[in-house]
Amino acid sequence: MLRRDRQIRMQVQQLLDACLFAISFWLAYVVRSDPTIIDLFSLPPVNPFEDYVWLYLAVIPVAPVVLETQGFYMRPILGARRSMAWPLAKACLIIVLGLILVAFFFKMTVARAVIVWFGFTGFVLVSIKEELLRIAFKSQFGKSQYLRRYMLIGTAAETRQLKRELDDKAFREIEVVAEVDLNHTSIGELVAVVHELSINGVIVSTKHSYFEQVEQVIHACELEGVEAWLIADFFKTQISRTSFDDFHGHPVMVFRTTPEASWQSVMKQLLDFFGALLLLIILAVPLFIIGLLIKLTSPGPVLFRQQRSGLNGRPFTIYKFRTMVTNAEQFRHELEAMNEMKGPVFKVSNDPRITPIGKWLRKFSIDEWPQFFNVLRGEMSLVGPRPLPVDEVRRFNDLAYRRRLSVKPGLTCLWQIRGRNKISDFRDWVRLDLEYIDNWSIWLDLKILWLTVPVVFTGSGAK
């Protein structure tokens, strides 16, 4: 099923599930407040439903979102029942625990049994809905409404492989009724098959077909009013994800190895800007005091400025509290033999160029605080691969390393929370950065920010 269709179906499902969870909460309250239940189990009476309104209103939009995070809407409709039950059970548990925590932190006087019973009721009602949908989809009416008859077009090997993939992924909404080799079938014969079998759509593999033939197929489908899906996998890529878009009316196919534009990326930008602004306001006095201490304990400027490689390698000036003597760069070549990092990056523990206060600032990453200005200026993000000096990037001996430059650099990253300076091989550092890029989500950013706090406060892994 195409992404557009999946999104529409998911939105309909989310609306239904939100209603069912709302009903479940109300039923849980009604059962718990029933006098018979109270007398039978010697339970104290419950507060009026008005005390539960805020929790009730929170459940309606939150429940479908939690289901989505657990992959509930990504499974085949007629797949194994366990593929439905397990994510649903996890989602209900997360919602129940979340409501209990909210009630605890906000000191809401609500019966815990209502929340627990709500989770169980929600699981039952949504399971019943899913079972009814299975019955509906398997019925003759359901098949007539949702089952689509498709023709596969390509070489024998291509259509065989594609049919196997459709069967393996349980696309029960698609019924393959014909397979045609475009190199041995004329357009007239293809149209005849469309008429004879009442084809709803065709799926064209273009790997071993000429574009002229493909164009003729699409024109024929236009005249017939039949939907045509073009599988444009004629370019072999290794890690790029493919998406389609339009460029001023021209259809384009996009190969991308970085996260695509989405609401999550907008949220990341807002988090960066307002997070950096808030932290600069909160840390204004400590920033001034630390700057004063640096000025009083060591001759030279308060801030250290250096050219670092930003997004796609574009140089920018990074700001840090100065933690070394003013002529530190001049002595670097004398310390090259002491480099503890394998690769183009220079790292030395117990660096003799570090000032006494600089060692303390580095241990707790306080020297990085001025980089909130870089985040505010849009040169950096709160979370992302750490920016490297321009000259170190130029020494990359593997072009694959440059993919870490495909996103904005950040103040913290997976490297920061999984080892920091304990990682001595630059390849491991890059591996963590690419893991972050390939699995990015706003939730991963929030998780990294959360885990960074104890790492920084304890000075874990710092040298």
pLDDT per residue as tens digits for the range 166-208: 776 545 678 888 888 877 888 888 888 888 888 888 888 776 6
Residue 98 burial (10 A CB sphere; 0-12, 13-18, 19+) = middle
| pLDDT score at 207 | 67
For the entire predicted model, the pTM comes to: 0.58
Residue ranges per domain, the chain? 3-140, 147-234, 263-458
Quick: pLDDT tens for 197-237: 888 888 887 766 667 788 888 888 887 778 888 877 666 66
The yes-or-no verdict on residue 56 having pLDDT over 80 is yes
The yes-or-no verdict on residue 60 having pLDDT over 80 is yes
Quick: pLDDT tens for 302-321: 999 999 988 878 889 999 99
The yes-or-no verdict on residue 410 having pLDDT over 90 is yes
Q: Which of 43-47, 120-124, 363-367 has the highest mean pLDDT?
A: 120-124
Least confident segment among 76-80, 142-146, 169-173, 321-325: 169-173
Residue matched to tokens 């870490």:
404
Quick: pLDDT tens for 425-447: 778 888 888 889 888 989 999 99
- Say if domain 147-234 classifies as CATH 3.40.190.10: no
User: What mean pLDDT do residues 254-265 have?
Assistant: 74
**Is the CB of residue 72 less than 8 Å from the CB of residue 154?**
no
User: What mean pLDDT do residues 353-364 have?
Assistant: 84
Q: How far is CA 409 from CA 25, 212, 266, 313, in A?
A: 44, 45, 17, 10
User: What mean pLDDT do residues 235-242 have?
Assistant: 68
Longest pairwise C-alpha distance within the chain: 89
The yes-or-no verdict on residue 408 having pLDDT over 60 is yes
The yes-or-no verdict on residue 287 having pLDDT over 90 is yes
The yes-or-no verdict on residue 459 having pLDDT over 80 is no
Confidence of residue 244 (pLDDT cuts 50, 70, 90): confident
Instruction: Considering only residues 353 and 315, tell me which one the structure prediction assigns the higher pLDDT.
Output: 315
Q: What is the 3-state secondary structure (H, E, C) of the chain?
A: CCHHHHHHHHHHHHHHHHHHHHHHHHHHHHHHHCHHHHHHCCCCCCCCHHHHHHHHHHHHHHHHHHHHHCCCCCCCCCCCCHHHHHHHHHHHHHHHHHHHHHHHHCCCCCCHHHHHHHHHHHHHHHHHHHHHHHHHHHCHHHHHHHCEEEEEECCHHHHHHHHHHHHHCCCCCEEEEEEECHHHCCHHHHHHHHHHHCCCEEEEECCCCCHHHHHHHHHHHHHHCCEEEEECCCCCCCCCEEEEEEECCEEEEEEECCCCCCHHHHHHHHHHHHHHHHHHHHCHHHHHHHHHHHHHHCCCCCEEEEEEECHHHCEEEEEEECCECCCHHHHHHHHHHHCCCECCCCCCCCCCCECHHHHHHHHCCHHHCCHHHHHHCCCCEEECCCCCEHHHHHCCCCHHHHHHHHCCCEEECHHHHCCHHHCCEHHHHHHHHHHHHHCCCHHHHHHHHHHHHHHHHHCCCCC
